[in-house]
Structure 1
Amino acid sequence: MNTQNIMIKLTIRSATQLLSILLSLTLFSLSSISQAAPEKLVVCADKGYWYPFVFTEGYEAKGLYIDMLNDAADRLDMKVSIRPMDWKKCLRKARAGKVDGIIGVSYKDKRAEYLEYPADAKTKKFSDLRLTQVEYVVVNNASSPYVFDGNVTTLPQPVRVPRGYSVADDLKNEGISDVNTKSKGDHGTLLRLISEKNGSVVTLATVAKHFEQHRLFKGKIKTQKRAYKSKSYFMAFSKKRPTDEASRNEIWDALTAVRTDSVLMETYMAKY
Structure 2
Amino acid sequence: MMIESQKKCVNRLFASSLGVALLLSNVAYSREFNVCLNPRFTKDPMLHSYIDLMNMAAAKVGNTLNAVPMNWEDCQEMVKAGQFDGAMPAIWNDKRAEFLYMPEDAGTNLDTPYALAKLDYALITSATSKYVYDGDIKTVPQPILVPEGYVLAKEIAKLDSSLVVKSIGADDYDNFVRLTRGERGSVIALKQYAKKVLQKSQFRNTLKLSKKTVFAKTFFMAFSKKSVSQDEVLKMWKQIPLIKKSPEWAKIQQKIARDAGVAAKAAVVLKP
Query: How far off is 1:97 after superposition?
Result: 2.5
* Aligned: 1:218 with 2:210: no
Counting matched residue pairs gives 228
Q: How does 1:29-68 map to 2 (within 5 A)?
A: 39-48=31-40, 51-52=43-44, 63-68=48-53
The one of 163, 181, 189 aligned to 1:195 = 181
Residues 133 and 230, structure 1, Cα contact 8 Å, conserved in 2: yes
**1:62-93: per-residue Cα shift (whole Å, max 9, x none)?**
x2222112222222221221122211111112
| Secondary structure at the counterpart of residue 88 of structure 2 | strand
Letter in 2 for 1:266: Q
1:38 & 1:116 partners in 2: Cα distance? 20
In the alignment, which residue of structure 1 is the partner of 2:3?
Answer: none
Structure 2 vs 1, CA of residues 71 and 50 (structure 1 numbering), >3 Å: closer, same or farther? closer
The one of 150, 164, 168 aligned to 1:182 = 168
**1:32-55: per-residue Cα shift (whole Å, max 9, x none)?**
xxxxx9711221112346633798
The one of 124, 127, 135 aligned to 1:139 = 124
The one of 146, 169, 194 aligned to 1:208 = 194
* Aligned: 1:115 with 2:100: yes
- After the TM superposition, which of the residue ranges 137-146 and 169-178 deviates more from structure 2? 169-178
Residues 138 and 200, structure 1, Cα contact 8 Å, conserved in 2: yes
Letter in 1 for 2:182: E
Percent of residue pairs bearing the same amino acid type: 29
1:164 & 1:191 partners in 2: Cα distance? 18
Structure 2 vs 1, CA of residues 134 and 225 (structure 1 numbering), >3 Å: closer, same or farther? same
**1:127-172: per-residue Cα shift (whole Å, max 9, x none)?**
2110011100001111112122222222111111122111121123
Structure 2 vs 1, CA of residues 211 and 68 (structure 1 numbering), >3 Å: closer, same or farther? same
In the alignment, which residue of structure 2 is the partner of 1:155?
Answer: 140
2:50 & 2:78 partners in 1: Cα distance? 19
Residues 67 and 268, structure 1, Cα contact 8 Å, conserved in 2: no
2:80 & 2:255 partners in 1: Cα distance? 31
| Secondary structure at the counterpart of residue 139 of structure 1 | strand
Gap regions ≥5 residues in structure 1: 1-36, 56-62
Gap regions ≥5 residues in structure 2: 1-28, 261-272
In the alignment, which residue of structure 2 is the partner of 1:23?
Answer: none
In the alignment, which residue of structure 2 is the partner of 1:263?
Answer: 250
| Secondary structure at the counterpart of residue 216 of structure 1 | helix
Query: How far off is 1:256 after superposition?
Result: 2.5
Letter in 2 for 1:216: Q
Larger Rg: 1
Structure 2 vs 1, CA of residues 223 and 50 (structure 1 numbering), >3 Å: closer, same or farther? farther
| Secondary structure at the counterpart of residue 231 of structure 1 | strand
Query: With structure 2 as the length reference, what TM-score do the two structures score?
Result: 0.76
In the alignment, which residue of structure 2 is the partner of 1:58?
Answer: none
In the alignment, which residue of structure 2 is the partner of 1:227?
Answer: 213
Letter in 2 for 1:47: P
